[in-house]
């Protein structure tokens, strides 16, 4: 259930959950932590996941980094748990755990637009703006005066050179995010359906700090060096159609 981000009713979650489970098993030994929020009946309604920032997709030291905080808000499955204070309780629990483990502060990422992982919500809980990148922002809360703010990794490399005569799919794979995994899994299946005679599929692991620092891309799929995702994860049919359209133009 945790691998599926509480969305055990979702076919999309089931499709991309195995890759996330693999990531969790790998990163448990690197300090990965999590908390679940339960209602009075013992039903899980929310989750938070965090880890030492040195093992995350942003640059920093001696902080813990929140990968995501999620309170189930869908009618499907377990139902809507939002508006009950679960998010605040999860954040406080994670901060207390990070303090106990010697962190100098807590950091998180979010977006300034009013949807997923709103930075305005973190600011209400005492977080400060650290750095902006497009619609995304890094925020942080120092516990000690010695704490240093987090930074986005700089984009230090150009995207790989395109292989001529083929549709090029370049997948930067991390594994922690269900939505990113879903785009990767759908792109991989679509590429296989179109065929390797027409599609060149390149996979780059950015789950390590070294590769993340080298590329500055935390998890994204590119079609001929253009982002395949510009919002919610595109459907398999949409990804397949985009590849087939490009293949016809070759």
Same domain, residue pair 83 and 137: yes
pLDDT per residue as tens digits for the range 148-172: 999 999 887 889 999 999 999 999 9
Same domain, residue pair 192 and 97: no
Same domain, residue pair 55 and 134: yes
Q: Which residues contact 142 (CB under 8 A, 6 or more apart)?
A: 104, 105, 128
Same domain, residue pair 47 and 134: yes
Same domain, residue pair 136 and 172: no
pLDDT at 117: 84
CATH number of residue 61's parent domain: 3.40.630.30
Q: What whole-number distance in Å separates Cα of residue 181 and Cα of residue 200?
A: 19
pLDDT per residue as tens digits for the range 99-140: 999 999 999 999 877 667 889 999 999 999 999 988 889 999
- Which of 44, 35, 140, 133 minimizes the C-alpha distance to 89? 35
Domain that holds residue 107: 31-142
Same domain, residue pair 86 and 47: yes
| H or E segment and range at residue 104 | none
Helix axes 178-194, 236-249, angle to 10 degrees: 40
- Which of 30, 33, 16 minimizes the C-alpha distance to 207? 30
Distance (Å) of CA 190 to CA 89, 115, 177, 198: 41, 29, 20, 12
pLDDT at 141: 98
Same domain, residue pair 43 and 134: yes
Distance (Å) of CA 43 to CA 39, 72, 81, 89, 245: 5, 11, 10, 15, 46
pLDDT at 114: 67
Beta bridge partners of 135: none
Is the pLDDT at 230 greater than 80? The verdict is no
Same domain, residue pair 171 and 138: no
Residue 153 tokens read as 């990794």
pLDDT at 85: 94
Count of domains in the chain?
2
On whether the CB atoms of residues 90 and 47 are closer than 8 A, the answer is yes
CATH number of residue 244's parent domain: 3.40.30.10
Residue 151 lies in a domain: no
**Residue at token pair 């000690």:** 144
Report the predicted TM-score, pTM, of the whole model to 2 decimal places: 0.92
């Amino acid at each position: 259930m945790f691998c599926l981000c509480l969305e055990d009713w979702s076919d999309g979650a089931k499709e991309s959950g195995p890759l996330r489970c693999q990531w969790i098993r790998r990163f448990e030994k690197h300090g990965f932590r999590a908390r679940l929020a339960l209602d009075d009946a013992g039903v899980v309604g929310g989750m938070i996941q965090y880890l030492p920032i040195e093992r995350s997709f942003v640059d920093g030291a001696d902080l813990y980094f929140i990968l995501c905080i999620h309170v189930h808000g869908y009618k499907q499955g377990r139902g809507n748990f939002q508006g009950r204070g679960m998010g605040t309780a999860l954040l406080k629990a994670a901060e207390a755990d990070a303090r106990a483990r010697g962190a100098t502060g807590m950091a998180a990422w979010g977006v300034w637009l009013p949807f997923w992982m709103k930075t305005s919500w973190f600011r209400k809980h005492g977080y400060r703006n650290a750095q902006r990148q497009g619609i995304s922002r890094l925020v942080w809360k120092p516990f000690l005066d010695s704490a240093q703010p987090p930074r986005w990794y700089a984009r230090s490399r150009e995207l790989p050179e395109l292989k001529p005569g083929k549709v090029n799919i370049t997948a930067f794979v991390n594994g922690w995010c269900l939505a990113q995994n879903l785009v990767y899994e759908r792109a991989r299946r679509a590429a296989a359906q179109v065929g390797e005679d027409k599609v060149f599929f390149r996979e780059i692991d950015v789950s390590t700090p070294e590769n993340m620092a080298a590329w500055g891309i935390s998890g994204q799929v590119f079609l001929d060096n253009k982002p395949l995702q510009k919002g919610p994860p595109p459907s398999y049919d949409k990804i397949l159609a985009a590849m087939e359209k490009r293949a016809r133009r070759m």
